[in-house]
Amino acid sequence: MSAVRMDGKALAEKLRAVVAEDVRAFGGPVCLATILVGDDPASHVYVGKKHEASHEAGIESRDHRFPSDTPETDILDLIAELNADESVDGILVQLPLPEHMNEPSVTRAVDPDKDVDGFHPINAGRLFLGEPLLVPATPLGVMAMLAEYGIEPKGAEAVVIGRSEIVGKPMSMLLLAEHATVTICHSRTADLGAHARRADILVAAVGRPGLVTPDMVKPGATVIDVGVNRTDKGLVGDVDPAVFEVAGHMTPVPGGVGPMTIAMLLRNTLTAAQHRSELRGTGVAAPGR
Ligand code: GUN
């Protein structure tokens, strides 16, 4: 029997409509600022989609694009300006940045209360301590898909392949918070197949086409493919499509996790606006913000 196809496109549309309603209910303006440096075509497409989706959800957006030879200090100056700008709720620096920039120093310059990517150490720490506020959008989208399809992490064996700051690590924390037993595998894992075969929930987030093959999957398992690989055959994930014949539930690529990321970015932008509004209401906000 073939796995249930977990339709991220349909769920993302539904969730974006819910965010739009919640933005209306919030009552005030909500604003996302994006920063894109360089000419990576995929990044330009992603950022364009983020603006389109923001507009549809009633979120204002500001689009800052720079040539690839822009000095890092120019970007840090803009981030400082956006941090101080009361009308901006969320700031997103599209990755990857050009080679001459230090990604952590740039992403860490973003005010943690406006960090809609959830990359700042304060937000990583909040997640680690079980007090999440702004959580990276892709793993947040995976959790929403599991919930939608009634996949219960509690007590499940969850195996996450990949230990990136954007997906693998926060994914593991979110599954742990939902009481899964979590194993994190990576490039130095001795016997990946042995770990993967134990998984009730298997998340592949490495960026290697065909990494997960049918023999590595327990029959009936839920397989989440976070891979985004551009090949001659078009966009493919990390999971061999033949796994559909073994898994119980599985996300396709494209149309699985990808569309969820933007929906969750919109949710995070509203969360940031709500949080900042609460901080202002209680007088906790720093002067000038
Ligand atoms: N590049 C690839 N994925 C992401 C993401 O989730 N956020 C940002 N800012 N850049 C990315």
Is 166 in the same domain as 233? yes
Q: For the chain, report the end-to-end CA distance as a whole number of angstroms.
A: 56
Is 74 in the same domain as 178? no
In a domain, 156, yes or no: yes
* Mean pLDDT over the full length of the chain: 96
Q: How far is the CA of 94 from the centre of ligand 1 (A)?
A: 5
Q: How far is the CA of 224 from the centre of ligand 1 (A)?
A: 18
pLDDT on residue 286: 45
| Residue 125: other Cβ atoms inside 10 A | 11
Is 155 in the same domain as 53? no
Q: Whose CA is nearest to atom 4 of ligand 1?
A: 95
- Indicate whether residue 137 lines ligand 1 (CB < 6 A): yes
- Indicate whether residue 97 lines ligand 1 (CB < 6 A): no
Is 90 in the same domain as 193? no
CATH code of the domain covering residue 44? 3.40.50.10860
Is 102 in the same domain as 154? no
**Residues with a known catalytic role:** 50, 94, 117
- Indicate whether residue 115 lines ligand 1 (CB < 6 A): no
Cα 206 to Cα 213: distance, rounded to the nearest angstrom: 14
Position 42 pLDDT exceeds 70: yes
Q: Whose CA is nearest to atom 3 of ligand 1?
A: 95
| Residue 128: other Cβ atoms inside 10 A | 15
Domain extent at residue 246: 137-257
Position 92 pLDDT exceeds 90: yes
Cα 229 to Cα 253: distance, rounded to the nearest angstrom: 9
Secondary structure percentages of the chain, helix, strand, coil, to 5: 45, 15, 40
Position 38 pLDDT exceeds 70: yes
Is 74 in the same domain as 174? no
pLDDT digits (tens, 9 = 90+) for 109-127: 999 999 999 999 999 999 9
Contact (CB, 8 A) for 106 and 79: yes
Q: Whose CA is nearest to atom 11 of ligand 1?
A: 95
In a domain, 77, yes or no: yes
